[in-house]
Structure 1
Amino acid sequence: MNKIIIHSLALYLLLLTVSCSPVRVTSTEASPDFRLTNYKTFGFMEVNADSSRVEIPAEHIASLQREVSNQLQKRGLTMSNANPDLLVNLGVVVQEKKQTRQTDFRTDAPYYMGQRRYTWRSKEVEVGRYKQGTISVHLVDRDQNSLVWSNQAESVVPSNNSKVQERIAEGVEKLFESLPTAGQ
């Protein structure tokens, strides 16, 4: 009986930890016949940065590529710059967002509208700003020039540079959890 309680508590804590992760996977797609074991080598496609949005430091792109390489190498692939079997296309978008709250006319002073018509309205009040990052990984079969697997995750970008590196590592690991292997 004691072991059951301990195992149940451990499972609950694990689920609680996973559910509180700051990284959220938003979409996963795979070709029905895609198996990672069909590929031996991988390489990265050229990164094109869009500077019209928030600028992404080069060390963050390098960290992202390093983490993706680690995940693919753990799964038996070898990095190759000359005609790799699998091409990796990375997408990174960082947007500045506003954090708002809704005023409540029951507790806050209401915002009055109108001259003769008396109406009370609540409104959104900005309470902070933050950056939200989205990373996407697309795996492309080089011979067929077709997308075989894609996944996307998003998270708030920490202001501390060392925390950004940790968040990238955590995000890429979560992205690759759903990558089909030989038995799937």
Structure 2
Amino acid sequence: MTKLCFLLCLLLAVVASCSPTRVLETDAAPGFHLSEYKTFDFYDIDASGDALQPYSEQLEFLKQEITQRLEQRGLSRSSSNPDLKINLGVVVAEKVQTRETSILTDPPYYMGQRRYSWQTREVEVGRYQQGTLSMHLVDNAQNELVWQGAAEGVLPDDNSAKVRKRISEGVQKLVEELPQ
């Protein structure tokens, strides 16, 4: 029976480590506990122009997910003088996946005429979008940062249902890190 339990725990650890989203870091102010706060709201987005337009739907979904997770933890959203203000930062960057050539498996890159040398090199094998969410909780009365965290994940190609699922996973993991 203990072998079965051990194998089940090992399988769960492997599955959890293969998750497409991960929490990068979290940091809480000394003595911060989420249970000491009752209400929250978001800072207004400080951006203009057409740059935000393609992402407005995902930003609203992100706010809905954070609201849902914080309400599950006992807080409620209030636009009039909330206890906590939430500042969000979102970065979507294109990344390049590479691999290094090997003299054993790939044809080597030849350099020189008389000075013979073989070199390995990086070969591009794909491109992908990586999203990073940073969340800062600010005590509204003190105007002090009380908690900050960041999560990242690979974003699926133009499939809004999969992007929403990835956002949900990232927000869930990030909010789980908040000290109760």
- TM-score, normalising length from structure 1? 0.89
Deviation, 1:48, is 3.2
Q: 1:150-165 counterparts in 2 under 5 A?
A: 150-159=148-157, 160-165=159-164
State how far apart, in whole Å, the 1-side matches of 2:51 and 2:102 are: 33
State how far apart, in whole Å, the 2-side matches of 1:69 and 1:168 are: 13
6-15 or 67-76: which moved more?
Answer: 6-15
RMSD, matched Cα:
2.1
State how far apart, in whole Å, the 1-side matches of 2:97 and 2:13 are: 28
State how far apart, in whole Å, the 1-side matches of 2:18 and 2:74 are: 30
Aligned to 1:57: 55
Q: Which amino acid aligns with 1:37?
A: S
Of 113, 135, 138 in structure 2, the residue corresponding to residue 137 of structure 1 is 135
Aligned to 2:89: 91
State how far apart, in whole Å, the 2-side matches of 1:18 and 1:60 are: 25
Query: Identity rate of aligned residues, in percent?
Result: 52
SS of structure 2 residue aligned to 1:57: helix
1:53/1:134 Cα in 2 relative to 1: closer, same or farther (>3 Å)? farther
Q: Which amino acid aligns with 2:79?
A: N
State how far apart, in whole Å, the 1-side matches of 2:156 and 2:139 are: 34
SS of structure 1 residue aligned to 2:69: helix
Equivalent pair of 1:53/1:95 in contact (CA under 8 Å):
no
Of 103, 106, 112 in structure 1, the residue corresponding to residue 104 of structure 2 is 106
State how far apart, in whole Å, the 1-side matches of 2:127 and 2:118 are: 27
Aligned to 2:173: 174
Q: How many residue pairs end up in the alignment?
A: 179
SS of structure 1 residue aligned to 2:131: strand
State how far apart, in whole Å, the 1-side matches of 2:165 and 2:17 are: 17
Of 18, 31, 34 in structure 1, the residue corresponding to residue 32 of structure 2 is 34
State how far apart, in whole Å, the 2-side matches of 1:24 and 1:50 are: 30
State how far apart, in whole Å, the 1-side matches of 2:53 and 2:44 are: 17
Runs (4+) off by over 4 Å: 49-56
1:21/1:51 Cα in 2 relative to 1: closer, same or farther (>3 Å)? farther
SS of structure 2 residue aligned to 1:136: strand
- TM-score, normalising length from structure 2? 0.91
Deviation, 1:117, is 1.8
